């Protein structure tokens, strides 16, 4: 059983839902990333997604794309991300998963990527550009290592293909709430709850919803039908104010911590 399986099993027994923040590794620095992960853990967040910066992101909106650009321009390297993660995961209780392009995994090699990720305390990977038809090798190797391979289902995914994706997924299903790219939204699609109810009828995996979630009103709509909520752009936008100035960065840290606290209260309060 993976760390993520254990997390959702515990939350289910407690009648709770997961709050899952996303942060970009290396924006504005890996030291800040380490500090914000520790802060989010201290606030009670259940799982963190760590974005591995990539020059050609697949579904990320302008806020996260900009954070990737800042990180890459600052010289962030995958080896340094793993080094930072190994120190942080030893100090926090929430599991950490990477949001990573398959191009990065492929370039390093599946076995090497998994070996380094696991050695760094990483519990799983979300690979947004990996078609389910081509995921057999990666899925088998992840499963053998109890390393969760979290795959995405979108509103436009045909239902037979959604079942195929669910069967190839471990840890939890990442359900994309909207058609399009990441980013804060004022409203969520009217049919989102119905889509989640159908998906729950065909899989026992936890279902977590991301893309566009930024408001407490969104939480009220989704918490009856989802096992977890993923928030990225609303957090990354706040982190964009950090400048590696100690006083300013503390204000940013407090802003992100307060936002996380409010979301946690809304989800499980």
Query: What's phi and psi for 158, nearest 5 deg?
Result: -55, 145
Q: Which residues contact 170 (CB under 8 A, 6 or more apart)?
A: 2, 4, 5, 124, 139, 142, 143, 148, 149, 150, 205
- Structure tokens that stand for 17 in this block: 């839902």
Q: What is the C-alpha R_g of the chain?
A: 17
Q: At what angle do helices 78-89 and 110-119 cross, to 10 degrees?
A: 30
Q: Please enumerate, as own/partner, the contacts of 109-117 that have beta carbons within 8 Å and a separation of 24 or more.
A: 110/137, 110/138, 110/141, 111/141, 114/141, 114/142, 114/145, 114/147, 116/79, 116/82, 117/82, 117/147
Active-site residue among 5, 60, 227, 249? 60
Active-site residue among 5, 27, 43, 49? 49
The SS3 call for residue 157 is: coil
Cα separation, 156 vs 69, whole angstroms: 29
Confirm whether 60 is a catalytic residue: yes
Confirm whether 49 is a catalytic residue: yes
Catalytic residues: 49, 60
């Amino acid at each position: 059983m993976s760390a993520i399986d254990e997390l959702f099993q515990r939350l289910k027994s407690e009648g709770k839902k997961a709050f899952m923040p996303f942060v970009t590794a290396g924006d504005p620095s890996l030291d800040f990333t380490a500090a914000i992960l520790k802060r989010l853990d201290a606030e009670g967040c259940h799982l963190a997604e760590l974005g591995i910066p990539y020059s050609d992101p697949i579904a990320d909106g302008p806020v996260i794309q900009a954070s990737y650009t800042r990180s890459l321009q600052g010289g962030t390297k995958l080896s340094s991300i793993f080094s930072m993660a190994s120190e942080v995961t030893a100090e926090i209780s929430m599991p950490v998963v990477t949001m990573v392009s398959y191009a990065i995994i492929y370039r390093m090699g599946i076995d090497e990527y998994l070996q380094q990720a696991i050695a760094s305390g990483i519990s799983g990977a979300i690979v947004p550009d990996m078609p389910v038809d081509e995921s057999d090798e990666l899925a088998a190797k992840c499963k053998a290592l109890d390393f969760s391979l979290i795959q995405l289902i979108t509103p436009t995914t045909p239902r037979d293909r959604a079942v195929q994706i669910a069967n190839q997924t471990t840890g939890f299903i990442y359900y994309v709430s909207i058609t399009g790219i990441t980013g804060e939204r004022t409203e969520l699609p009217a049919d989102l709850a119905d889509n989640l109810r159908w998906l729950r009828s065909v899989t026992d995996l936890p279902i977590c919803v991301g893309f566009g979630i930024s408001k407490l009103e969104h939480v009220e709509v989704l918490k009856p039908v989802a096992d977890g909520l993923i928030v990225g752009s609303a957090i990354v936008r706040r982190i964009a104010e950090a400048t590696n100035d100690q006083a300013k960065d503390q204000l940013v840290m407090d802003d992100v911590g307060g936002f996380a606290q409010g979301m946690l209260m809304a989800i499980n309060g």
